[in-house]
């Protein structure tokens, strides 16, 4: 089932939908992404590209390589989403201080501070601007990345045991 081409198209379609949804929420709805949101967005964009390449190329070694890269991006995206869910679950007095926007940080701060904000977030990342069924966007993103990890691991397992 997991190596079925229709299932691979489904994974690609879901990843593409998440990529487009992130752009919709920023440019149409007007939500400004925090550093962890930006890292999740990069992860899902790269995941989408790797899943597309996996569909396009017929060489088994290339498909395997793109599967590994897609799985890596899923784990990386899961890390960023889980970190943001953690920050959002902290009591108000434990939330890190809010910082300047990423653009300002890149212009005036040392790269070490920018990288730290991108990987660990700031107080801005703890803010919940949007919810669906009582859960934040970061939570839904985390669930999506978990789904990708499980699907890609099952696909790899099926390929190994074939």
pLDDT tens for 77-100 read 999 999 888 887 877 776 666 566
Pick the CATH number of 5-160 from 3.30.200.20, 1.20.1550.10, 3.40.50.10360, 1.10.10.10: 1.20.1550.10
Across the chain, mean pLDDT equals 82
Tally Cβ neighbours within 10 Å of residue 63: 18
User: What is the reported pLDDT for 30?
Assistant: 83
Specify the DSSP element, H or E, that contains 16.
helix 5-27
Tally Cβ neighbours within 10 Å of residue 124: 22
In the 3-class helix/strand/coil scheme, how is 27-71 assigned residue by residue?
HCCCCCCCHHHHHHHHHHHHHHHHHHHHHHCCCHHHHHHHHHHHH
User: What is the reported pLDDT for 19?
Assistant: 94
Q: 30-63, pLDDT tens digit by residue?
A: 888 887 888 899 999 999 999 999 988 878 888 8
Listed by start position, the domains of the chain span: 5-160
Inform me whether the pLDDT recorded for 116 exceeds 70: no
Cα-trace Rg, the chain: 17
Inform me whether the pLDDT recorded for 113 exceeds 80: no
pLDDT above 70 coverage of the chain, percent: 76
Could you tell me the pTM of the whole model? 0.80
């Amino acid at each position: 089932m997991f190596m079925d081409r229709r299932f691979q198209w489904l994974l690609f379609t879901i990843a593409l939908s998440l990529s487009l949804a992130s752009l919709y929420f920023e440019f149409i709805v007007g939500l400004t992404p925090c550093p962890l949101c930006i890292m999740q967005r990069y992860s899902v964009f790269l995941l989408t590209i790797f899943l597309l390449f996996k569909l396009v190329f017929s060489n088994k070694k290339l498909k395997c390589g793109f599967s590994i890269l897609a799985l890596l991006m899923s784990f990386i995206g899961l890390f960023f989403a889980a970190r943001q869910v953690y920050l959002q679950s902290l009591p108000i007095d434990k939330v890190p201080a809010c910082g300047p926007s990423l653009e300002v940080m890149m212009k005036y701060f040392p790269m070490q501070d920018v990288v730290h904000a991108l990987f660990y977030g700031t107080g801005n990342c703890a803010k919940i601007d949007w919810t669906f069924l009582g859960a934040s966007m970061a939570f839904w993103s985390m669930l999506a990345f978990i789904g990708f990890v499980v699907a890609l691991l099952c696909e790899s397992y099926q390929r190994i045991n074939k």
